[in-house]
């Protein structure tokens, strides 16, 4: 990911010549192919979110990785050593952007925008100082930045999929999994840089080209899952949380209130419904809803809402002549993959199999 060779790379022409002799087939095309794929990914995500506010940190992360891949190709494919002076600074911006993108799906920071920018710009500023005064410490500093932000992301995800208060329920579980993979990818990227550093130290860079190639692929993995996690989000209007005095009674009351909204107003049919919006509709703090459903039903809120959607879909499939796609959109799903996955989870069969089994007779599984 960082694609930064240790300090020897800045002045050891012998090591560089050795690398050039190995990179002709393996290394010249890979960074530019990665950059092209990332650009395609950027356009795809941009078009997908054009009707709603995009997750700008994730979009910036994609563009930044495009730039890193191009710099990597210039450095190792064409011997442009000057890029080694700016690549570490750009690499240090990647983990903060990943964290910022995740944070937008989780909650609104209590810090002001200038404070957040200053905080997350600190790693790049530190790397810039190290380039000027102590180049040998750059690799260690970058590894610490990547691991530190990976741990911070994992801490945000401790509550599970319900942590993504601003992500639509349909995509909450896939987004949660993608973010976990993103954090793991950041750690793997740091591990690659450690191996590269050790390879230059002990083996004079004999395996560095292969290791850095793997790092390039890690960029694509990180960006792919980051883009998958990006969603239409906006700041929550309420973040006040109420302490539970009687868990059993309060949980029942909370679920009864949410059930009433689901059944009377069919909130689950809103494709953009998320935990924050549900909390505002119910007039109940988001964490209280999440905790009640987790404790009483042993499932997360995303599964709870999707259970209602699948129950409604079963009724429509059995009692109407609407196509599966029409039913999917009507009950609140936007993608066939999510619809089919959730339908199988609830009914243990596909939508078509359900319709054939019911033979046009109404009926559905319990919606909660």
**In the block, residue with structure tokens 């990006």:** 230
* Residue 125 confidence (pLDDT): 92
Query: What local confidence, expressed as pLDDT, does residue 331 receive?
Result: 92
Instruction: Sketch out the chain's domains with CATH numbers.
Output: 7-229 (1.20.1070), 247-358 (1.10.10.60)
Q: Is this structure's pTM higher than 0.75?
A: no
CA pair distance 213, 192, nearest whole angstrom: 10
Round to whole Å and give the CA distance between 57 and 166. 15
* Four-residue CA torsion sign, 305, 306, 308, 313: positive
Determine the pLDDT at residue 263. Answer: 86
Residues of the chain with pLDDT under 50: 1-28, 231-247, 361-368
φ, ψ of residue 307 to 5 degrees: the values are -60, -40
Convert the pLDDT of each residue in 173-226 to its tens digit.
Answer: 777 877 887 788 788 778 777 777 777 777 666 666 666 666 656 655 565 665
Residue environment code for 42-68, b if the CB has 16+ CB neighbours within 10 A, otherwise e: beebeeebeeeebbebbbbbbebbbeb
Contact 136, 7 (CB under 8 A): yes
Residue pLDDT, tens place only, 128-151: 999 888 888 888 898 899 999 999
* pLDDT attached to residue 226: 59
pLDDT of residue 328: 93
């Amino acid at each position: 990911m960082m694609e930064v060779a240790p300090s020897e790379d800045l002045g050891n022409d012998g090591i560089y010549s050795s690398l050039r002799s190995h990179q002709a087939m393996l290394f010249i095309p890979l960074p530019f192919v990665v950059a092209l794929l990332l650009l395609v990914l950027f356009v795809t995500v941009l078009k997908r979110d054009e009707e709603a506010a995009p997750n700008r940190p994730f979009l910036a992360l994609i563009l930044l990785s495009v730039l890193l891949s191009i710099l990597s190709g210039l450095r190792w494919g064409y011997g442009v050593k000057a890029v080694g002076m700016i690549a570490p600074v750009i690499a240090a911006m990647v983990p903060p952007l990943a964290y910022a993108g995740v944070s937008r799906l989780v909650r609104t920071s209590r810090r002001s925008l200038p404070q957040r920018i200053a905080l997350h710009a600190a790693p790049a500023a530190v790397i810039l100082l190290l380039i000027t005064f102590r180049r040998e410490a750059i690799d260690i500093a970058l590894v610490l930045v990547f691991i530190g932000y990976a741990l911070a992301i994992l801490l945000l995800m401790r509550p599970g999929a319900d942590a993504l208060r601003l992500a639509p329920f349909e995509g909450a579980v896939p987004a949660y999994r993608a973010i976990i993979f993103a954090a793991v990818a950041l750690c793997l990227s740091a591990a690659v840089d450690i191996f590269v550093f050790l390879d230059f130290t002990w083996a004079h860079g004999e395996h560095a080209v292969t290791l850095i190639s793997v790092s390039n692929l890690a960029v694509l993995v990180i960006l792919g899952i980051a883009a998958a996690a990006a969603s239409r989000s906006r700041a929550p209007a309420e973040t006040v949380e109420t302490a539970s005095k009687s868990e059993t009674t309060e949980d029942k009351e909370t679920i009864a209130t949410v059930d009433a909204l689901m059944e009377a107003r069919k909130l689950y049919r809103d494709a953009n419904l998320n935990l924050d919006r549900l909390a505002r509709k119910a007039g109940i703090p988001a964490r209280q809803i999440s905790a009640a459903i987790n404790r009483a039903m042993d499932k997360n809120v995303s599964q709870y809402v999707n259970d209602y959607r699948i129950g409604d879909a079963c009724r429509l499939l059995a009692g109407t002549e609407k196509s599966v796609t029409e039913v999917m959109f009507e009950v609140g799903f936007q993608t066939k993959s999510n619809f089919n996955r959730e339908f199988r989870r609830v009914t243990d069969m596909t939508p078509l199999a359900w319709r054939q089994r019911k033979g046009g007779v109404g009926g559905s599984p319990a919606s909660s």
